[in-house]
Amino acid sequence: MRRVGVLHRDQLLVDGYRGVLAAVQQARSPVAIAETAAEYARQVLEADGASVTQVAEDHYSYLAVSGRAVPRRGGVVPLAGSFTGSVVATRQARIFGLEGANAATLERAATTGIASGMVAPVLVDSRVVGTIGVTSSAERAFDVVALDALVGFADLLATAWSLHELRAAADARGTREALVSFAAEVVEAAEGIERLSRRLVSEVECHTERALAEAITAAAEQLARSAAEVSAGRPPR
């Protein structure tokens, strides 16, 4: 995010968040949402590569990748000894650099050509269910401003995945009780998006606030419509 002006950078950030919100509105699959987030994160943060992972008990797997010098989609890596593993353990977004990295990390960096990067955890119900990260062949390519933007993508992913899980569970049960329960969760998710919007707006320049607020409002309105449908006994679309 160093090579572009403030106006252009912030507009890219808004476009990226809006793109992920659109995926939420369309109730796409978790993989499709992950692909959207990875692609926008790579473009907005001017990274060479981006990836979204799914975290299991002792390993993580690549759900989506974008760009070059990226792992194979579906590839599985042990959490132990990995930079991603440290992010999962601490539940904190971090910037990666070659300085002070352990031997295993340096070896992987030499193989892939990655000199810097950053990873943010995706938290659902206080659990780390995945991560989103970006990488660069240049050293010190990212700063704390970029890290904050990546955390925004992680927060949106968490909301998107939560909503998808709730929708799938309601559809599978197919009962009115399940659908009404889903409606309540949808409203809560909409409120969560609105809370997130307040934080995101504070991180961009004032000239982008209107566009970002409009994107958030559109997402919340779509969720509210879904809630009304299921409350009336109709399956959500």
**237 residues of the chain, pLDDT tens digit each:** 444 455 566 677 777 777 777 776 675 678 888 999 999 999 989 999 999 999 998 999 999 999 987 778 888 889 998 889 999 999 999 999 888 777 777 777 778 888 899 999 999 888 999 999 999 999 899 999 899 889 988 988 887 787 777 666 666 655 555 555 555 565 565 555 555 555 555 544 444 455 555 655 665 566 556 656 655 655 545
Q: For residue 63, tell me if it sits in a domain.
A: yes
pLDDT at 70: 76
Q: For residue 194, tell me if it sits in a domain.
A: yes
pLDDT at 158: 86
pLDDT at 84: 92
Q: For residue 237, tell me if it sits in a domain.
A: no
Q: Tell me the torsion sign for CA atoms 18, 21, 27, 29.
A: positive
Q: For residue 236, tell me if it sits in a domain.
A: no
CA distances for 149 relative to 10, 17, 77, 154, 203, angstroms? 10, 9, 25, 9, 8
pLDDT at 205: 46
Count of structural domains within the chain: 1
pLDDT at 15: 79
| Interatomic CA distance for residues 102 and 81, integer angstroms | 8
pLDDT at 38: 94
For 85, the domain range is 6-231
Q: Provide the CATH number for the domain around residue 147.
A: 3.30.450.40
CA distances for 166 relative to 20, 36, 86, 225, angstroms? 18, 20, 29, 16
**φ/ψ of residue 52, rounded to 5:** -125, 130
Q: For residue 219, tell me if it sits in a domain.
A: yes
Q: For residue 1, tell me if it sits in a domain.
A: no
pLDDT at 42: 94
pLDDT at 217: 60
CA distances for 143 relative to 43, 81, 96, 114, 147, angstroms? 16, 24, 10, 16, 6
| Interatomic CA distance for residues 197 and 199, integer angstroms | 5
